[in-house]
Amino acid sequence: MKENLRVGYIGLGLMGRAMARNILKAGFTLVIHNRSRQAVNELVAEGAQEAFSPADVANQVDVVFTNLPDSPDVESVALGPKGIIESIRSGMVFVDNSTIKPATARYLAEQFIEVGVLALDAPVSGGDIGAKNGTLTIMVGGPGEALERVMPIFRVMGKTITHVGESGAGQIAKAANQIMVAAQMVAMGELIVFAKKTGADPQKVVEAIRGGAAQCWTLDIKAPRLFHGNREPGFKAYMQAKDLGIVIDTAREYGIPLPSAAVDAQLFNAMLEMGMSELDNSAVIGVMERLSGIRLLDDEMD
């Protein structure tokens, strides 16, 4: 029951803060920890309880969630000094909402099972809008019995919850998701620049092709933001670049050729080199603009 299940959430970034807030609004007891004070202060004011280390969180709850930037961060918070594993108890569930390497997710699951704890890798998709609205897609790897226990929490975070398979399978699904997301962002940038430089109205072009086979979430949601000059995240470019690094590393591990994803990874890394790391992933159009010598909006800053 909601009133009896105590939930810990570690990592209150752009996505994690909104996800934790929805857990709190749904009536769960929520214990939080984060390096940034602003996010902690906001949620404490709304009724959450603060803890002062990952171990402190685990000591007070039944289920521990993490939502952190990369594989080393999750491993450190879960297994390092004052980490979750120091205080987590047999019978509890560990859930990672981060996007990390599948191999790391499997390693964490192995470590937690040794202390009687079931682990789920449960990365999400849907951006900041989905996180705020509780409409995320959640891709889950790990034991079905653990998923059944935390399903009431997942239901306040997302609308599509899929048990993909055993430990690591959720991260494999997220990596696959990011291959498609990156491809769409790059393709959208290319077609808009193509339309602009060849003399057509890019907004009219997008309006025309959205009614056919090119229709997709990216053109529906991201294109209007670009046409209004909005390149704020969303989903930050440096996180997209990190996720593509996971894709490429995992593909190399298994000997899988991914030529398009490799090019997309280079373009997102170029964004970082051009100082666009904090912009939305749709702002990859900025790389095409510089290569083509045009700007989508003439009054935009370089």
Active site residues: 174
Closest to 88 measured CA to CA, from 70, 66, 121: 66
The secondary structure of 201-255, three-state, reads CHHHHHHHHCCCCCCCHHHHHHHHHHHCCCCCCCCEHHHHHHHHHHHHHHHHHHC
Residue 122 near residue 149 (C-beta atoms within 8 A): no
Query: 119 pairs with which residues across the strands?
Result: 94
> What's the CA gap between 269 and 198, in Å, rounded?
27
Question: Please, which residues have CB within 8 angstroms of residue 131's CB and are 6 or more apart in sequence?
Answer: 14, 15, 18, 19, 22, 124, 157
> What's the CA gap between 236 and 210, in Å, rounded?
25
